[in-house]
């Protein structure tokens, strides 16, 4: 008997999803994450899997892993101290960014401070032209001077981002070699090697984030690899990527930027799996963990992809699942600013010390503590009995905020919940606007440790169609790793007008990408895997500032079908902007290749039906919408398909707690999903209060 294991390591909990290859049954488990001892959570989890289910590590034939260590590092700004080496005269590239206001309606809004401070930016004497010609070779003395000053100022890594390195990275490679001559151990991240996209800021910030998280990611992956070896897992692990695929451990160490959204993308792939299996056509996935809330669009069971995704306060420009990450989660700390105004996040209590109510040393109230004080959690064990919620401890911590605010601890707790929801509301509204969708036509699919706890509150503020809570929401990201495909992206920046004359060159570049893609697949994962190749192009009309992604049939590239390529772009432009111009000159900026090798996915099991009404185990008192209410408390494992019941309600299970405020109705579908919609028979509505 063999097993496939998917693991997702978040800021608070590490989730396990285990597929029995013989029966198709999925086992789940949660243990505390150990940022103080990376890898030990894996050892602990594998030991408990053997205790609970008799699953031995040596029976594992497939192991995938997703982690939020990268994104949490950026959100909490606790990465390595970096220096930036750039072409003389372009030292302000990170400061200038794109000159966009973070909040256009706030006249006092400030753009986020760069991850590299201005006094850690140094110039290099060199120059490459826009067509790739080396105009000025690298001046070694300027590099030596920059590196010396960077080390004197305590920088532990260097980002090299020189002008036009997307076209020719010769000078960047030369700077890297000089740095290694000076200090072979110094971390160096070159923009042309990380992701050679056109535009200086986009390429620089992507390389910066790669270097910013790399030491923590590498340390973490090394500890993770050792833990697996010590536990006796016989297969090398695969790491989930920002693009929703998986890659080898060695690739993850070398290309940390590819896994910044690792855990986040795993969740979206898991949500897409649920959507496809259960025929949910329009979903917004809502993954709330201890540190962040991540929202993505899923249509017809497929996630949206893109570049420029927001990671905390910054965008990254690698292909990724199109997701918005918000610095609010169950572990987000509530605090008073110097003016005495209550704030929530972005700092998180994480796993250690964790929320106060976990009794693991935390003393600052969090969102989870607010739910405990309001009586919405704490009526049973959490995290597979790893947590016993201490409401009294949470109340004491909440009192430290309530006293200066001059309100009760219950009012303080509910205010914390509302502030957290309002932050999610703002960023989710931006995502909805970006894709031009109407939230009234979409369900949230809420998951993660805190997604079912907070999802219904956010849904009613956004006037969503409803909320779907999958059968094992607390470990859905781990399940996503199990069903994720092998996937990798390759890019070649062309920056050329589309014409008959350039078609042979286009075909040549496409063939080069194909060779690179096939070589990656065979060298990393073997020669016997089935795979598909998908070509994409970033295209625009000449004079436009930004591009449109267009899928290209590889036969068009092989045969030089210019008309088909042009028509595909016109159609895509019309679809997005309701306009196209057949007479305008078209430019092709980037040619991209996606290599995918599919994995086998298990079918979801159906839940037995029952004609008996759902029966609450008990009723508890909870503070909802400004008053104490009697709330029905259910155990999820006692529910059957076809049952319905009204809110307010609390539904407990091993991996999380679902909290449903007033004005809603809960239905259990054939697959065991909880479908939460407006209850028109109640006086309250699904809308916000």
Distance CA 6, CA 10 (A): 13
Give the pLDDT score at 367. 96
**Environment class of residue 143 by beta-carbon count within 10 Å: exposed (0-12), middle (13-18) or buried (19+)?**
buried
**Phi, psi dihedral angles at 224 (to 5 degrees):** -65, -45
Cα end-to-end distance, the chain, whole Å: 53
683 has pLDDT over 90: no
Least confident of 344-348, 476-480, 526-530, 596-600: 526-530
Q: Could you read off the pLDDT of 87-140 as tens digits, one per residue?
A: 999 999 999 888 776 667 777 777 889 999 999 999 999 999 999 999 999 999
Give the pLDDT score at 626. 94
Q: Which has the higher per-residue pLDDT, 592 or 382?
A: 592
- Looking at 561, 577, 597, the residue that finishes a domain is 597
Q: How many domains does the chain have?
A: 2
pTM: 0.83
Of 16, 68, 553, 638, nearest in space to 351 by CA:
68
Give the pLDDT score at 688. 45
- Looking at 185, 216, 247, the residue that finishes a domain is 216
Distance CA 404, CA 415 (A): 14
CATH for 197 = 3.40.50
Residue 619 lies in a domain: no
- Evaluate whether 241 touches 265 at the Cβ level (below 8 Å): yes
213 has pLDDT over 50: yes
Residue 306 lies in a domain: no
DSSP 3-state of 420: helix
In the chain, how long is the greatest CA-to-CA distance? 81
Q: Which domain holds residue 582?
A: 486-597
Task: Give, as one character, the DSSP assignment of residue 614.
Answer: P
CATH for 549 = 3.30.1490
Q: Could you read off the pLDDT of 660-682 as tens digits, one per residue?
A: 999 999 999 999 999 999 887 65
Give the pLDDT score at 682. 55
Q: Could you read off the pLDDT of 56-95 as tens digits, one per residue?
A: 999 999 999 888 788 888 888 889 999 999 999 999 999 9
H runs (alpha helix) in 350-438: 367-373, 391-405, 409-435
Residue 313 CA, chain-centre distance (Å), reads: 13
Q: What is the mean pLDDT of residues 425-447?
A: 86
Residue 515 lies in a domain: yes
Distance CA 291, CA 629 (A): 29
H runs (alpha helix) in 18-104: 40-53, 69-76, 93-96
Give the pLDDT score at 323. 81
526 has pLDDT over 90: no
What is the enclosing helix (H) or strand (E) of 628? Answer: strand 627-635
Q: Which has the higher per-residue pLDDT, 255 or 164?
A: 164
Distance CA 303, CA 295 (A): 11
Give the pLDDT score at 351. 76
Residue 189 lies in a domain: yes
Residue 640 lies in a domain: no
CB contact set of 625 (below 8 Å; sequence gap of 6+)? 414, 661, 662, 684, 689
Residue 408 lies in a domain: no
HSE-CB for 509 with a 13 A CA cutoff? 22
Residue whose tokens read 């009192």 = 399
Q: Could you read off the pLDDT of 527-580 as tens digits, one per residue?
A: 678 899 999 999 999 999 889 999 999 999 999 999 999 999 999 999 888 899
- Evaluate whether 604 touches 595 at the Cβ level (below 8 Å): no
- Looking at 576, 597, 618, the residue that finishes a domain is 597
Residue 248 lies in a domain: no
Mean pLDDT estimate for the chain: 90
199 has pLDDT over 50: yes
Residues comprising the chain, all counted? 689
- Evaluate whether 254 touches 39 at the Cβ level (below 8 Å): no
At 490, list the tokens.
């390759």
Residue 362 lies in a domain: no
Q: Could you read off the pLDDT of 599-653 as tens digits, one per residue?
A: 888 888 899 999 888 999 999 999 999 999 999 999 999 999 999 999 999 999 9
22 has pLDDT over 80: yes
Neighbouring CB atoms inside 10 A of 86's CB total 26
Q: Could you read off the pLDDT of 437-454 as tens digits, one per residue?
A: 889 999 999 999 899 999
686 has pLDDT over 60: no
């Amino acid at each position: 008997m063999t097993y496939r294991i998917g693991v997702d390591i978040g800021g608070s909990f590490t989730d396990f999803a285990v597929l029995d290859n013989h029966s198709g049954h999925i086992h789940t488990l949660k243990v505390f994450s150990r940022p103080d001892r990376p890898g030990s959570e894996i050892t602990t989890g594998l030991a408990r899997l053997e205790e609970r289910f008799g699953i031995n590590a040596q029976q594992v034939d497939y192991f995938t892993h997703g982690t939020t260590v990268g994104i949490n590092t950026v959100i909490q700004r606790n990465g390595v101290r970096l220096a930036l080496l750039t072409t003389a005269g372009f030292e302000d590239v990170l400061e200038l960014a794109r000159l966009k206001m973070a909040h256009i309606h706030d006249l006092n809004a400030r753009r986020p401070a760069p991850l590299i401070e201005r006094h850690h930016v140094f110039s290099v004497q060199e120059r490459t032209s826009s067509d790739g010609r080396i105009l000025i070779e690298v001046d070694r003395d300027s590099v030596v001077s920059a590196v010396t000053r960077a080390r004197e100022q305590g920088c532990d890594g260097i980002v090299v981002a020189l002008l036009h390195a997307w076209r020719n990275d010769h000078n960047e490679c030369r700077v890297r070699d000089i740095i290694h001559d000076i200090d072979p151990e110094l971390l160096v991240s070159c923009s042309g090697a990380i992701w050679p996209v056109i535009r200086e800021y986009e390429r620089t910030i992507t390389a910066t984030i790669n270097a910013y998280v790399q030491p923590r990611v590498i340390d973490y992956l090394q500890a993770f690899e050792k833990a697996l070896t010590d536990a006796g897992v016989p297969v090398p692990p695969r790491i989930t990527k920002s693009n929703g695929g998986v890659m080898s451990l060695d690739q993850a160490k070398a290309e940390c930027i590819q896994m910044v959204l690792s855990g986040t993308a795993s969740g979206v792939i898991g949500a897409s799996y649920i959507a496809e299996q259960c025929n949910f056509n329009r979903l917004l996935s809502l993954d709330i963990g201890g540190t962040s809330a991540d929202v993505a669009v899923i249509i017809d069971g497929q996630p949206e992809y893109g570049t420029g995704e927001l990671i905390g306060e910054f965008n990254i420009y690698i292909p990724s699942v199109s997701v918005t990450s918000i610095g609010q989660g169950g572990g987000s700390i509530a605090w008073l600013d110097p003016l005495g105004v209550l704030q929530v996040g972005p700092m998180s209590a994480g796993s250690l010390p964790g929320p106060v109510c976990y009794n693991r040393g935390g003393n600052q109230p969090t969102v989870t503590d607010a739910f405990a004080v309001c009586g919405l959690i704490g009526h049973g064990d959490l995290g597979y009995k790893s947590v016993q919620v201490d409401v009294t401890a949470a109340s004491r911590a909440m009192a430290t905020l309530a006293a200066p605010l001059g309100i009760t601890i219950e009012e303080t707790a509910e205010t914390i919940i509302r502030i957290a929801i309002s932050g999610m509301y703002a960023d989710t509204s931006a995502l909805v606007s970006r894709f031009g969708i109407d939230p009234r036509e979409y369900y949230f699919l809420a998951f993660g440790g805190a997604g079912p706890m907070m999802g219904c509150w956010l849904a009613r503020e956004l006037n969503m169609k409803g909320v779907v809570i999958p059968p094992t929401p607390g470990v859905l990201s781990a399940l996503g790793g199990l069903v994720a495909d092998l996937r990798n992206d390759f890019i070649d920046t062309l920056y050329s007008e589309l014409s008959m004359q350039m078609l042979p060159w286009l075909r040549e570049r496409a063939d080069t990408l194909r060779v690179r893609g096939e070589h990656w697949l065979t060298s990393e994962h073997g020669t016997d895997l089935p795979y598909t190749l998908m070509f994409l192009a970033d295209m625009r009309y000449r004079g436009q500032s930004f591009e449109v992604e267009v899928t290209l049939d590889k036969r068009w590239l092989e045969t030089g079908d210019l008309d088909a390529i042009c028509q595909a772009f016109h159609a895509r432009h019309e679809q997005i902007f309701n306009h196209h111009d057949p007479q305008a000159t078209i430019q092709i900026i980037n040619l991209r290749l996606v290599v995918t090798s599919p994995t086998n996915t298990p079918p979801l099991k159906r839940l037995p039906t029952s004609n008996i009404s759902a029966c609450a185990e008990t009723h508890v008192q909870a503070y909802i919408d400004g008053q104490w209410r009697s709330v029905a408390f259910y155990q999820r494992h006692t529910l059957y398909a076809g049952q319905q019941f009204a809110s307010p309600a609390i539904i407990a299970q091993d991996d999380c707690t679902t909290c449903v405020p007033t004005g809603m109705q809960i239905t259990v579908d054939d697959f065991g999903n909880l479908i939460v919609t407006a209850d028109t028979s109640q006086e309250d509505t699904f809308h916000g209060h």
